[in-house]
Amino acid sequence: MPRLFLDVDGVFADFVGGACRVHSREVSTVDCWDFHRDRWGISDTEFWQPIVHEGAKFWERLDLLPWAESLLEYVRSIEHNFSCISWLTAKPGWQGAEAAKMSWIRRLDKNYPILFSSNKAEHCKAIDDILVDDCEANVKAWREAGGFAILFPAPWNANDYITDKVAYIRGSMIQLVTNCKKEFAVIDTGNKKEFESGMVRNSAEGKVEFDRVFDGPLFERWATHLTRGAAVYPDLPDGRPNWTLANGQAELNRFRRSAVRHFVQAIRGDTDEDHFAAVCFNMNGMLYVQQRMAENN
Ligand SMILES: [Mg+2]
């Protein structure tokens, strides 16, 4: 069964709020990971000095993040899907902080084991080890170690655009737990919806609604454009579309240039080709090549 590892600071504990308090700074100034260097213009030593000076009191004063209790409630509702759930938090670099941090966690939860680590990825031992963490570097290292990792949305990472953080975790967890299953199963996410008829299903909250792309005329026109395109540029002998051979910067540039040209032609009303559909084709081509290039790096 999968194991789940939960980060503390930035996911449950308002570490940034505490840091802003001791430095008399506004939380709104924090929008990147190294905010003390890049936004406040202070060194690591200058950042940590007042926190270390405050000692255990710093951790005692740390607030719960607004979603912490509902997130923990959700985790508890799905804990039967995991062989073990642990707190996995950064190891503080000074005496006494570890005990204070442990006390903070224990006020929130009395059951899950607490692990301190300066290298979280060392705890990733299997493909179905799952980490929830707000640090992009931790998430990357965990994935490189072979596990699954969910980047918890925060102003200092790429998932900042996600507003409903708990719904995002629910949606991601459903997919991950499904992937981890060795056999097909009906997933109990612990979040059910009952219809007026009495039918009970898992909640759709946080799940991608793929059916929405069928609304309006564009999807059918895109499919038609691809079908006609296959007649002009035949599929490969193994059945793959010819355009999926694209794998480098030259092809990426070509997709980009074509996307822009078709966009202009669509807006000005040209009807010699389906330029709306061609924009979709070329944008998809761009994403496809970008993904291939990233995988090859
Ligand atoms: Mg964190």
Under the banding of pLDDT at 50, 70 and 90, the label for residue 205 is confident
Per-residue model confidence (pLDDT) at position 180: 65
Residue 205 lies in a domain: no
Give pLDDT tens digits for 13-64: 999 999 999 999 999 889 999 999 999 999 999 999 999 898 889 998 999 9
For residues 114 and 168, membership in a common domain is answered with yes
Which of 165, 180, 195 terminates a domain? The answer is 180
* Ligand 1 center from residue 133 Cα (angstroms): 6
Give pLDDT tens digits for 147-175: 999 999 999 998 898 888 998 898 888 77
For residues 148 and 227, membership in a common domain is answered with no
User: Into how many domains does the chain fold?
Assistant: 2
* Ligand 1 center from residue 83 Cα (angstroms): 23
* Two structure tokens written together for 288: 């496809």
* Ligand 1 center from residue 13 Cα (angstroms): 8
> Is the pLDDT reported for residue 210 higher than 60?
yes
Which of 138, 157, 180 terminates a domain? The answer is 180
Per-residue model confidence (pLDDT) at position 46: 93
> Is the pLDDT reported for residue 184 higher than 70?
no
Give the residue-averaged pLDDT of 199-228.
Answer: 90
Q: Can you give the residue range of the structural domain that contains 41?
A: 3-180
* Ligand 1 center from residue 11 Cα (angstroms): 6
Higher-pLDDT residue of 290, 179: 290
* Two structure tokens written together for 205: 């909250």
278/101 Cα distance (integer angstroms): 55
Q: What is the mean pLDDT of the chain?
A: 91
Give pLDDT tens digits for 115-140: 999 899 999 998 889 999 999 999 99
89 has which bridge partners? 116
* Ligand 1 center from residue 209 Cα (angstroms): 29
For residues 217 and 142, membership in a common domain is answered with no
Per-residue model confidence (pLDDT) at position 62: 94
**Sign of the alpha-carbon dihedral angle for 185, 189, 194, 198:** positive
* Ligand 1 center from residue 154 Cα (angstroms): 10
* Ligand 1 center from residue 243 Cα (angstroms): 41
For residues 36 and 164, membership in a common domain is answered with yes
For residues 151 and 224, membership in a common domain is answered with no
For residues 223 and 94, membership in a common domain is answered with no
* Ligand 1 center from residue 36 Cα (angstroms): 15
* Ligand 1 center from residue 126 Cα (angstroms): 22
Under the banding of pLDDT at 50, 70 and 90, the label for residue 215 is very high
* Ligand 1 center from residue 41 Cα (angstroms): 21
> Is the pLDDT reported for residue 182 higher than 60?
no
Per-residue model confidence (pLDDT) at position 181: 60
* Ligand 1 center from residue 215 Cα (angstroms): 39
Of 24-28, 79-83, 282-286, the range with the highest mean pLDDT is 282-286
6 has which bridge partners? 87, 132
> Is the pLDDT reported for residue 81 higher than 60?
yes
* Ligand 1 center from residue 118 Cα (angstroms): 12
For residues 10 and 157, membership in a common domain is answered with yes
CA atoms within 13 A on the CB side of 16: 21
pLDDT cut 90: percent of the chain above it: 67
* Ligand 1 center from residue 30 Cα (angstroms): 14
Give the residue-averaged pLDDT of 102-125.
Answer: 95
* Ligand 1 center from residue 181 Cα (angstroms): 27
Higher-pLDDT residue of 98, 188: 98
Do residues 111 and 93 make contact, with C-beta atoms less than 8 angstroms apart? no
* Ligand 1 center from residue 283 Cα (angstroms): 34
Residue 191 lies in a domain: no
Give the residue-averaged pLDDT of 261-282.
Answer: 96
The DSSP output letter for 211 is G
Report DSSP letters for 180-202, one per residue: H-SS------S-EEE-TTS-EEE
CATH number, domain of 82, equals 3.40.50.1000
For residues 157 and 250, membership in a common domain is answered with no
* Ligand 1 center from residue 23 Cα (angstroms): 19
